[in-house]
Amino acid sequence: MTTATQALRIGVVTALPPGRNSLNEFGFHLVRHLAGVPEVSEVVVYADETDAGPPATLPGTRSVGCWRFNSPANLVRILRAVRATRPDVVLFNLQFATFGDRRLPGALGLLTPAVLRLLGVPSVVVLHNLADNVDMRDAGFAGSRLAAWVMKTAGRVLTRALLRSDLVAVTIPRYVELLRDRYGARNALLAPHGSFEELAVPSFDVPPGPRRILAFGKWGTYKTVDVLVEAYRLLLQRGYEDLELVIAGSDSPNSPGYLDEVARRYADVPNVVQTGYVAEDDVAGLFRSATVVAFPYTSTTGSSGVLHQAGEYGRAVALPRIGDFVEIIEEEGFLGTYFEPGDAASLADSLALMIDDPELRTDLGRRNFAAATGIPMSEVVEWHVMHMQRVLAGRSR
């Protein structure tokens, strides 16, 4: 068996671009930085198969397409790929809908880390949300209260299964507390999200051209843009000029056709741009072009990768007051103007505060940049490698 002092061959189960499944951007940067760690000899990526083309391959990595969203065969296919490539340890980049929004394939995929450990393969999970904190109805996973209760209960069972891994890393301090207090976990640790890039301090000034309100995500469930378009319409009615609303990203897998319907419903609203899917190389330019970034969510599933990206580029943000979301993001150091979810007038007021006050907008942008770039991903992956080495050392005793 490989010891903690030898170079590691690390397997990573994650979605990757050009596929559009959840956490693909995080997975891309996680893999890229892992491949640059001196203690890592190779990264084998067990990537999702999509209709967008073969998964990205980065220097020092090997991509093996071996699972597909909503396929009940994912567990078996990943196990076969791991057996064929024989990594020293497997790292999973997961949230609860990674493998599917249908109950059976979604649940079976989440059993993979525990099954691997039972088979003697060390498994480590980076978990971005918890079933306990997801509104199942609002997120599109359940259509009734009974179904939501069933899904929540199943989610808690799956949480216990994930905790059968050697290590579960979460990105929010209170998630560590919840796993330890509610589930008795002793293998749950805090791992910072990390900034995707090591960036120079950006310009906090408004870019030339129209004042651009940006929203970026996978749309149609708890992330909907209807209230944002209505808020934008209110701003136009209040006399704001030179405004543009940019809706970037694609439909959520749970809501195919949602953005097409939005385009039809709001065809009369001027200067609304839908970009469609945004390639990784275009993300920086997208955020740099924004005056403010809006998060028109009706519920949340944990910390937000898009918020971290907005922070990396020094953008001020409008955030919903949902449950403990504000407390969660402020624990991470982020700050914004706040609005009541689903209330277009409240969102318009939140956006207007930042549009009208350059000093406030700049202060928020600086605060969010500091929060997002405090710990670069290059350092976070070194933390993961150190803990994987400890897991392997413990097994070799």
pLDDT tens-digit series, residues 131-165: 876 665 555 555 677 766 777 788 899 999 999 99
Q: Which domains does the chain have, with CATH numbers?
A: 8-194+375-396 (3.40.50.2000), 211-373 (3.40.50.2000)
How does pLDDT run across 305-336, given as a tens digit for each residue?
789 899 999 999 999 998 777 877 888 889 99
Share of the chain above pLDDT 90, in %: 62
Q: What are the tokens at 129?
A: 């949300």
Band (pLDDT 50/70/90 cuts) for residue 209 is confident
The two structure tokens encoding residue 196: 């995707």
Q: Is the pLDDT of residue 4 over 60?
A: no
Of all residues in the chain, the percent with pLDDT exceeding 70 is 93
Asked if residues 34 and 9 have their Cβ atoms less than 8 Å apart, the reply is no
| Cβ neighbours around 175 below 10 Å, total | 23
Encode pLDDT of 379-389 as tens digits. Answer: 899 999 999 99
DSSP SS3 for 247: strand
What distance in Å separates the CA atoms of residue 24 and residue 283, rounded to the nearest whole number? 13
pLDDT on residue 1: 43
Burial status of residue 327 (CB atoms within 10 A of its CB: 0-12, 13-18, 19 or more): exposed
Q: What is the pLDDT of the chain when averaged over all its residues?
A: 89
Q: How far apart are CA 77 and CA 99, in angstroms?
A: 12
pLDDT at residue 200, rounded to an integer: 64
Q: Which residues of 230-261 are buried (b: 16+ CB within 10 A; e: fewer)?
A: bbbbbbeeeebeebbbbbbbbbbbbbeebbee
SS3 358: helix
Strands 167-170 and 40-48: unpaired
Edge-first strand order for the sheet with 211-219 is 272-276, 243-251, 211-219, 292-294, 316-320, 337-339
Separation of alpha carbons 250 and 258, rounded Å: 9
The residue with greater pLDDT, 174 or 197, is 174
The answer to whether residue 61 scores a pLDDT higher than 50 is yes
**CA atoms of 273 and 244, how far apart (whole Å):** 8
Q: Cis peptide before 54, with omega less than 30 degrees from 0?
A: no
